[in-house]
Amino acid sequence: MTTCLITGGAGFIGSHLVELCLGRGYRTLVLDDLSTGKKENLPLGHPDLTLIEGDIRDRVLLREIREANPDLTYLFHLAAIASVTKSMEDPILTHEVNFQGTLFLLDTFRKSLLKKIVYASSAAVYGANPNLPLQEESLPKPQSLYGVDKLGGEHLLKVFNDSFHLPTVSCRFFNVFGERQDPSSPYSGVISLFFARAVERKKGSDSRITIFGDGKQTRDFIYVKDVASALLFLAESKNIRGDVFNIGYGRKITILDLARKVQETLGVDIDIRFEAPREGDVRHSLADVRKLEGAGFTFSHDFETGLRRLAEFLVAKAD
């Protein structure tokens, strides 16, 4: 039986990947310290799902998981402090979790029979590169400590792939959005925050949308279910290893236009407040996804579909 281990599997992206793996009939293990992940994100009653509460920096626990699951097929490493802001405020903790935790995981499983380790990296590795769209071969210039650690993790995976014959692949996420992205979390994406404020406004509050900067900065947003599908596709692709892939739609939108789309989707007017730009944020970001599509992956959704689904989810949850 195919067995998957998903670190950070109780989180926003991880929980969607859990659903996908279970839907494939895969036995699925989730390792999560629940610092940002939530049990309610998981179908805990599913017979093929096991939740292990713990930290990826716990090397004893990692060895116990390896020894108890010698048949492990795929390992998806999503556990991280997923915040540029947090990385600048607490660089030591961020480094311990995002870089050292990745190294501990790779070292623990380097002699296993895994078919693939899939690593959640980030578009933050590119930094403020003006040459858009960003290609995987573009020179990385991270301008946040979060981006530095994610890039370091990519290099670790490449070395373990080449020197220890452990098949790996790194995925550079652009701006992921969708259901279960917690707007109250400091790590939350801008879309979930905008929608949360708009839903509050729709219910009669005086909530406002806050934009850091002038709103003309651009991002490439991708719906979470397509991210989960891309991760599983790359894991199952036998001929893909030791490589890096962008995970985005290859489409840009300004933050100000995004705020307007959120209002249009919910049919609500809401005031916009502008604040100073955040330290470490890049001005423009856009993925070149020809490599992913050339490998045979097909997106099942698009930006507008994702927005509608998220709106439906949040409105239903608010009722």
- Establish whether 146 is a catalytic residue: yes
Report d(CA 215, CA 208) in Å as an integer: 14
- 21, 7, 166, 9: which is closest to 102 by C-alpha? 7
How does 105-124 read in b/e, with b if 16+ C-beta sit within 10 Å? bbebbeeeebebbbbbbbbb
**Which of 119, 146, 223, 249 is an active site residue?**
146
* 190 backbone φψ class: left, alpha, beta (φ>0; ψ -120 to 50): alpha
Q: Which residues pair with 123 in a beta bridge?
A: none
Active site residues: 146
